[in-house]
Amino acid sequence: MFELMALPYAPEALEPVISKETIAFHHGKHLAAYVNNLNALLEGNPLAGLPLEEIVLKAEGGMLNNAGQILNHELYFGQFSGKLGKTAPTGKLVEAIVRDFGSFEAFKEEFQKKGATLFGSGWVWLSADKDGKLVITQEANAANPIQKGLKPLLTFDVWEHAYYLDYQNRRPDHLAALWQIVDWTIIEDRYIK
């Protein structure tokens, strides 16, 4: 049985970038529904008892959608900090960003553009391949880069429920604001592991 992840910060800690109300709906209702749905789908299923990542790699249909959304949201909610963490990458991660995108600013610009131009609902991801090369991908609906053999590092949710209460239809404004709450210590740890 999977459980709704506990947020590593208070619901109001990400304001004004993400409001307490958005957290209540996004985490407390959307993510909770995915957890409940997946648990119901796993009853009596051979995939029951597997780690979430394995379910995402092996499941199809509704089970994949719910498992993928749980994995994506756990990475998403887990990458932010209510206290100002590192506001820019350092060390091996920034070296890889400069190597693969030219500069941190060029990376942010491309990442935001990919998030803003993803048609419909989904996610924009920074991931590493098996050699440590960084790539930005657009993943529709509940897809996750692990399905392509990549290691997910950073993600911005571009489903409307992630931003509509705070930004209405201004997805680019939402994407630009999220940089203020990314804790790069967490992203660096994901890259190094």
Segments making up each domain of the chain, as ranges: 20-78, 91-192
pLDDT in tens, 106-164: 999 999 999 999 998 999 999 999 999 999 999 999 999 999 999 999 999 998 888 88
- Indicate the CATH number for domain 91-192: 3.55.40.20
Nearest to 111 by CA among 138, 89, 133, 84: 138
The number of CA neighbours under 13 Å toward the Cβ of 57 is 11
Nearest to 157 by CA among 136, 171, 167: 171
pLDDT in tens, 9-62: 999 999 999 999 999 999 999 999 999 999 999 999 999 999 999 999 999 999
- pLDDT of 162 reads 82
Torsion angle of the four alpha carbons 183, 184, 185, 186, in this order, in degrees rounded to the nearest 10 = 70
**pLDDT higher than threshold 80 for residue 85:** no
Domain 20-78 has CATH 3.40.50.2000: no
Per-residue confidence band for 83, with pLDDT thresholds at 50, 70 and 90: confident
What is the rounded distance in angstroms from the CA atom of residue 32 to the CA atom of residue 25? 9
- pLDDT of 15 reads 93
**pLDDT higher than threshold 90 for residue 87:** no
- pLDDT of 84 reads 63
3-state secondary structure of 90: coil
